[in-house]
Chains A and B, each alone.
Chain A
Amino acid sequence: MHPAPSVIIFTTFSGLGFGLLFWLGLGAIKPMGWGAFLWFFIAYAMAVGGLIASTFHLGHPERAIKAFSQWQTSWLSREGIAAVFTLVVMGIYALGALFGVHMGFTGFIGAIGCLATVFTTSMIYAQLKTVPRWRHWSTPAMFLLLSIGGGALFAGQVTVAIVLLLIAAVMQYFAWMSGDGRLSHSGTNLKTATGLGTIGEVRAFEPPHTGTNYLLKEFVHVVGRKHSAKLRQITLGLAFLAPILLLLLPFNHFFALLAVLCHVAGVLTLRWLFFAEAEHVVGLYYGKR
């Protein structure tokens, strides 16, 4: 898949934003007054900013409101509803905090909403049979782990963050390793795509157009094997190892900031890989992976 910046930014930051809101909602920290303003501002900036970024790749963002209508079947619709619901609930909770009122139940509901939002986001990808790499429980698992792990990091929940990031690192490693073979194990290949496998080995000969097209631009993106290995190392280092090491050092605001920055950079790389490495089966028709 083409790693579009808007979608990378969206998944990264809205994940982190909802992760931070999750911890805020659970009351892991209970800032009040201006402090609350600051915390909620950061969380909302990430969550809403991410959502806004996601509209950059829409052809008609002005019609976005229509996207709430199909919650019965569409994960994207559900995500929209979950996000708006969560942001509203958490908004009430934040308002309370601003005025020094801690509404525990509202926060709890909001926190659940955060998980639901991140889960629905992840299901947009995990539901796609067309992208075997994504169609796996590890996709929502990773989205959720990164969201609450990153959220914990932002929220200064050192121990929890260390534990979650550790799990996430292992989980990510597993997702990569198992994901690498998933297209070839999916049963979909050029033979089934063309139905010509009964005759013999099939090879793409001439593409339908010598130029490019929407499908190629959107779905076909080949990452070199070496390049991918290097990026995976960088991801593991930045998103997980560096923050964990920095957290293990005696607490220091600078280190904490560094840990957060490392993590954000790592997750951005991770998401780039998430899209860039995902093989859409339509590529088969074009003789690409």
Chain B
Amino acid sequence: MSLDQPNLDTSPKVSDEVRKTTCYMCACRCGINVHMKGGKVAYIEGNRDHPVNQGVLCAKGSAGIMQHNAPSRLRAPMKRVGERGSGEFEEISWDEALKMAVDLLKPIRENNPEKLAFFTGRDQSQSFTGFWAQAYGTPNFAAHGGFCSVNMAAGGIYTMGGAFWEFGQPDWDRTKMVMIFGVAEDHDSNPIKMGIGRAKKKGAKIIGVNPIRTGYNAVADEWVGITPGTDGLYILSMIHCLMKAGKIDLDYLARFTNASCLVNEDPNSDQRGLLLKDSDGQPVVIDRNTGKLAPWNGQGVEPDLSATYRDKGITHRPVFHLMADKYLSDEYAPENVAERVGISAENIRKMAADLARVAFDEEISLDRTWTDFRGKTHTKMVGRPVSFHAMRGISAHSNGFQTCRALHTLQIILGTVETPGGMRFKPPYPKPATAHPKPHGKVTPGAPLDGPHLGYAQGPDDLLIEDDGTPKRIDKAYSWENPMSAHGLMHMVISNAHAGTPYKIDTLFMYMANMSWNSSMNTSGVMKMLTDKNEDGSYVIPNIIYSDAYSSEMVAYADLILPDTTYLERHDCISLLDRPICEADGVADAIRWPVVEPDRDVRGFQTVLCQLGAMLDMPGFVNDDGSAKYTDYADYITNHIRRPGVGPLAGFRGNGDDHGRGDVNPNQLDRYIENGGFWIEHVPDDCAYYKPFNTAYQEWAVKMGFYDVVQPYIFQLYVEPLRKFQLAAEGVGDRQPPEHLRERLKRTMDPLPIWYAPFEDGHVDPEEFPVHALTQRPMAMYHSWGTQNAWLRQIHGHNPLYVPTKIWEENGFEEGDWAKVTSAHGEIVVPVAHQASLNANTVWTWNAIGKRKGAWALDEGAPEATKGFLLNHLIHELLPPKGDGMRWANSDPITGQAAWFDLRVKISKSDVPNEAQPAIPPIKSPVGKGPGKLTWKVGS
């Protein structure tokens, strides 16, 4: 019989038009091609030309179409008509909504601007929202960084002027060994996957340090199943081995770090432990050419790592001697840390040796001439091809800041930062802490704040506290409790506002943060705080305004809802002024633009802020004649000027040919659209490495407008600001910490990286709660907001608790079993599943799969609500009482970073309940429920 195949059209029409914009399902911000058919979104794929994703797209990005059509989309502004938390709303007009908001915000601004707390969650427009908050005049603004990964950002900025993730990345194409600490997915998720793929293809070795072996750690060639919270110790032990063996890059350390800077070792000086400085205030080193003191950045100076300086009978030694004192101590010998970190001494040594082998035996060098800031010209760019990456696994612990610093110290002593094959910064980083603003918090009623809210404190003088020591900010950022809280502490806002400490507020204004659910600790407690009433029947937190695009759990807790558009329906700006999308080889920024018009009565939140700013007469939002300065966000993006020549977008400025700096270009957005939604300028070859020290790079950075003057710097292995806080705790200076914090400040704010046990270990009984409990990001789901997506929720509709073999067997668990999981704070009853490739004392689950009944336009029987669960019920924002009369925050003592992963639990088998416990009663859906079937096809 002949094979009569049907005639197939193998060239069907793909779409009418492709519109290129930027994805919004996570902070990676990939470029997307949106294929349109008949004016509707038909298919979304990655944009090949885009610097971030180069054509690839993750599951969330490809499922954007289901996000865009989600039945959970809010439809119009709403005002609450039932009790808070019930979900009873009435739709209102925008006029009414804006009037309600202005009626609340105007008197506050005129009288006590601090009574407005404006916090934005997964905000990708922080330079704009911060600008708005500054103009409004409240000190109470931050985004979600405090509960997310401020330890990573601050630890990196203070140490080396940048961190991993959006600040830097491994040199994927040249590296021969990549060690990844505590990463399940990260913000830079597509580039990391692309990097892993490329590195593997080239035969590079990948090492995953993580209690859990999934995802990146599953493809790692070697897995280090570390005990949670002990990475700092593991890293310092490797530093111990490397120093002991002299396997360190002395030349790099001497030239490019403050290891050669001299420390004041006069025990009687109130400068003790600070760096010796010359009369210009510059730290000094000893020049090997002369054997004399010289400023660190003096032309031709060859800093000596070893020589000491004797003055008035006192020997002052370089930082490097202090490091030797500290890290060569037996305390860090592999034998002495092995049990604690859960890795054998032999394996710690092997790893350190392997790092040394690759770094020093497999040295690479590029024939590229470059000149350093001391005027010395180097003919080669030498690289030690080991690189590191890390994220929340090390940062979301109460010892995370110092652990992140320890990791940077490891990569710096190996000479791998900003060198070929190592870790590279992405423009506009590197940028040292001193080049960032300091925090500002001075309030003047009816006027803007005295400067940007968030910044890098350099010492006690920069704290935002009143004369009596009370914090100026509602979240107590930059107070003695967490002096270097560079991103604020969003996770403390609701509980502080509820408790009225440091003061009561009037209105809580939030944007894009599911604070009554997955982004807060102690979820049930927070729901109660949001609905708690005073004796007179008024709410303890009087007013809540919230902007969301979807019917999230948080919507039910607001009095006024400002519905946002979806990401395909609005203008957005991914700006170099806040969280850019650059790659190591290019500086880039991007936009979103309405590729479809909203079919609902919704407005882009930033546009609403422009309108509110004008209605409130805020400087920067009104013209001299009092009229609105910006009609909408697009207008702001195009016309706002932050510094001379610098606006939200760096590309196509002036007549369209200026990049970096230039005048306003009224056609700028069109140029972006023509260019595929983004702009990129490549980093010149001679600027590609050694950026902090490289004169060519520094000049290029000024030209591009990253900063206004050339400002080379060296890495701060020794972070002097930390020492300043320590000194204060020792009694030096006028600004003194409260007594109860002195010891902790002395212990934790060590200017050299240290390790201390996670705080929870000291507050709960580790014998009673022997198990660590963690969460991980599922690659195919974004926090709570992926669940409304009909495609993604089929992949992750509920989440078991994964249990290691030892605990599985001890409890006699079988498939289908449930367990009771108890922490010092709470209890949950949840389904369990077995995993062998897991640290023996660790359990974990996927983050934010559990949902509240009634939210997200889902059926109340949705598996997310009946079997899915949040670990957050077990985590408190405060540590359990310890008998000292204090409730210590469950945060890093330096930055205030929420210590999600310090959690300890115990676990036992439970009867199978009807549904996961605690079962929270449903909220009424303000948008109804989704349809019973989908056959989505917009073309014919």
Q: Do chains A and B touch in the complex (CB under 8 A)?
A: yes
Whether the pair B835, A211 counts as a contact (CB closer than 8 A) is no
Stretch at the interface among A87-95, A183-191, A202-210: A202-210
| Nearest chain B CB to A63 CB, angstrom units | 14
Whether the pair A211, B1 counts as a contact (CB closer than 8 A) is no
Q: How far is the CA of A209 from the CA of B795 in the complex (A)?
A: 4
| Nearest chain B CB to A263 CB, angstrom units | 38
Q: Is B11 an interface residue (CB 8 A)?
A: no
Q: How far is the CA of A72 from the CA of B798 in the complex (A)?
A: 47
| Nearest chain A CB to B301 CB, angstrom units | 56
Whether the pair B794, A210 counts as a contact (CB closer than 8 A) is yes
Which of A205, A206, A210 is most buried by chain B, counting CB atoms within 10 A of its CB? A210
- A210 contacts across to B, CB distance below 8 A: 794-799, 863
Whether the pair A72, B1 counts as a contact (CB closer than 8 A) is yes
The digit string for B774-814, where 1 denotes a CB below 8 A from any CB of A, is: 00000000000000000000111111000000000000000
- A206 contacts across to B, CB distance below 8 A: 833
The digit string for B1-18, where 1 denotes a CB below 8 A from any CB of A, is: 100000000000000000
The digit string for A203-247, where 1 denotes a CB below 8 A from any CB of B, is: 101101111000000000000000000000000000000000000
Can you report 18 A-B residue pairs in the complex whose CB atoms are below 8 A from each other?
A72-B1, A203-B836, A205-B835, A206-B833, A208-B795, A209-B794, A209-B795, A209-B797, A210-B794, A210-B795, A210-B796, A210-B797, A210-B798, A210-B799, A210-B863, A211-B794, A211-B797, A211-B863
Q: How far is the CA of A210 from the CA of B793 in the complex (A)?
A: 8
| Nearest chain B CB to A104 CB, angstrom units | 36
| Nearest chain A CB to B5 CB, angstrom units | 14
- A72 contacts across to B, CB distance below 8 A: 1
Q: A203-B836, A210-B794, A210-B796 are in contact. List 12 more A-B contacts (CB 8 A).
A: A72-B1, A206-B833, A208-B795, A209-B794, A209-B795, A210-B795, A210-B797, A210-B798, A210-B799, A210-B863, A211-B797, A211-B863
| Nearest chain A CB to B315 CB, angstrom units | 58
8 Å CB interface, B92-133 against A: none
The digit string for B389-419, where 1 denotes a CB below 8 A from any CB of A, is: 0000000000000000000000000000000
We find that the number of chain B residues with CB closer than 8 angstroms to chain A is 11
Residue of A nearest to B799 (CB): A210
- B796 contacts across to A, CB distance below 8 A: 210
- B835 contacts across to A, CB distance below 8 A: 205
- B863 contacts across to A, CB distance below 8 A: 210-211
- B798 contacts across to A, CB distance below 8 A: 210
Q: How far is the CA of A209 from the CA of B835 in the complex (A)?
A: 17
- A211 contacts across to B, CB distance below 8 A: 794, 797, 863
Q: How far is the CA of A211 from the CA of B836 in the complex (A)?
A: 23
Size class of A's contact patch?
under 10
Residue of B nearest to A210 (CB): B797
- A203 contacts across to B, CB distance below 8 A: 836
The digit string for B550-564, where 1 denotes a CB below 8 A from any CB of A, is: 000000000000000
Q: How far is the CA of A206 from the CA of B797 in the complex (A)?
A: 13
Residue of B nearest to A69 (CB): B1
Q: How far is the CA of A205 from the CA of B863 in the complex (A)?
A: 20
Q: How far is the CA of A72 from the CA of B794 in the complex (A)?
A: 40
8 Å CB interface, B817-851 against A: 833, 835-836
Residue of A nearest to B849 (CB): A210
Residue of A nearest to B796 (CB): A210
- B799 contacts across to A, CB distance below 8 A: 210
Residue of B nearest to A213 (CB): B794
Residue of B nearest to A208 (CB): B795
Q: How far is the CA of A7 from the CA of B836 in the complex (A)?
A: 41
- B1 contacts across to A, CB distance below 8 A: 72
Residue of B nearest to A205 (CB): B835
Residue of B nearest to A206 (CB): B833
* Interchain residue pairs A-B with the least CB separation, the first 4: A210-B797, A209-B794, A211-B794, A211-B797
Residue of A nearest to B815 (CB): A287
- A208 contacts across to B, CB distance below 8 A: 795
8 Å CB interface, B860-890 against A: 863
| Nearest chain B CB to A214 CB, angstrom units | 12
- B797 contacts across to A, CB distance below 8 A: 209-211
| Nearest chain A CB to B238 CB, angstrom units | 29
- A205 contacts across to B, CB distance below 8 A: 835
8 Å CB interface, A163-207 against B: 203, 205-206
Residue of B nearest to A201 (CB): B836
8 Å CB interface, A73-95 against B: none
| Nearest chain B CB to A206 CB, angstrom units | 8
| Nearest chain A CB to B798 CB, angstrom units | 5
Residue of A nearest to B837 (CB): A205
Q: How far is the CA of A46 from the CA of B794 in the complex (A)?
A: 42
| Nearest chain B CB to A200 CB, angstrom units | 10
Q: How far is the CA of A205 from the CA of B833 in the complex (A)?
A: 9
- A209 contacts across to B, CB distance below 8 A: 794-795, 797
The digit string for A40-51, where 1 denotes a CB below 8 A from any CB of B, is: 000000000000
Q: How far is the CA of A135 from the CA of B518 in the complex (A)?
A: 52
| Nearest chain A CB to B216 CB, angstrom units | 16
Residue of A nearest to B867 (CB): A210
Q: How far is the CA of A211 from the CA of B795 in the complex (A)?
A: 7
Q: How far is the CA of A46 from the CA of B835 in the complex (A)?
A: 52
Q: How far is the CA of A205 from the CA of B803 in the complex (A)?
A: 12
Q: How far is the CA of A210 from the CA of B1 in the complex (A)?
A: 44
Q: How far is the CA of A258 from the CA of B794 in the complex (A)?
A: 49
The digit string for B487-498, where 1 denotes a CB below 8 A from any CB of A, is: 000000000000
| Nearest chain B CB to A96 CB, angstrom units | 36
Q: How far is the CA of A210 from the CA of B863 in the complex (A)?
A: 9
Q: How far is the CA of A220 from the CA of B808 in the complex (A)?
A: 26
Q: How far is the CA of A209 from the CA of B792 in the complex (A)?
A: 9
- B795 contacts across to A, CB distance below 8 A: 208-210
The digit string for A47-59, where 1 denotes a CB below 8 A from any CB of B, is: 0000000000000
| Nearest chain A CB to B60 CB, angstrom units | 16
| Nearest chain A CB to B850 CB, angstrom units | 12
| Nearest chain B CB to A53 CB, angstrom units | 26
| Nearest chain B CB to A16 CB, angstrom units | 35
Q: How far is the CA of A206 from the CA of B798 in the complex (A)?
A: 12
Q: How far is the CA of A118 from the CA of B836 in the complex (A)?
A: 49
The digit string for B715-731, where 1 denotes a CB below 8 A from any CB of A, is: 00000000000000000
| Nearest chain A CB to B225 CB, angstrom units | 16
Q: How far is the CA of A135 from the CA of B799 in the complex (A)?
A: 38
Q: How far is the CA of A208 from the CA of B778 in the complex (A)?
A: 13
Q: How far is the CA of A72 from the CA of B2 in the complex (A)?
A: 12
| Nearest chain A CB to B417 CB, angstrom units | 36
Which of A72, A203, A208, A211 is most buried by chain B, counting CB atoms within 10 A of its CB? A211
Q: How far is the CA of A208 from the CA of B792 in the complex (A)?
A: 11
Q: How far is the CA of A205 from the CA of B214 in the complex (A)?
A: 11
Q: How far is the CA of A203 from the CA of B808 in the complex (A)?
A: 15
Q: How far is the CA of A206 from the CA of B863 in the complex (A)?
A: 16
| Nearest chain A CB to B4 CB, angstrom units | 11
Q: How far is the CA of A203 from the CA of B833 in the complex (A)?
A: 12
Q: How far is the CA of A211 from the CA of B794 in the complex (A)?
A: 6
- B836 contacts across to A, CB distance below 8 A: 203
Q: How far is the CA of A205 from the CA of B213 in the complex (A)?
A: 12
| Nearest chain A CB to B332 CB, angstrom units | 35
- B833 contacts across to A, CB distance below 8 A: 206
Q: How far is the CA of A12 from the CA of B799 in the complex (A)?
A: 42
Residue of B nearest to A70 (CB): B1
The digit string for A106-143, where 1 denotes a CB below 8 A from any CB of B, is: 00000000000000000000000000000000000000
| Nearest chain B CB to A210 CB, angstrom units | 4
Q: How far is the CA of A153 from the CA of B738 in the complex (A)?
A: 97
Q: How far is the CA of A205 from the CA of B796 in the complex (A)?
A: 14
| Nearest chain B CB to A225 CB, angstrom units | 15
Residue of A nearest to B864 (CB): A210
| Nearest chain A CB to B862 CB, angstrom units | 11
Q: How far is the CA of A190 from the CA of B291 in the complex (A)?
A: 70
Q: How far is the CA of A203 from the CA of B834 in the complex (A)?
A: 10
| Nearest chain A CB to B576 CB, angstrom units | 40
Q: How far is the CA of A208 from the CA of B833 in the complex (A)?
A: 15
| Nearest chain B CB to A132 CB, angstrom units | 24
Q: How far is the CA of A206 from the CA of B794 in the complex (A)?
A: 13
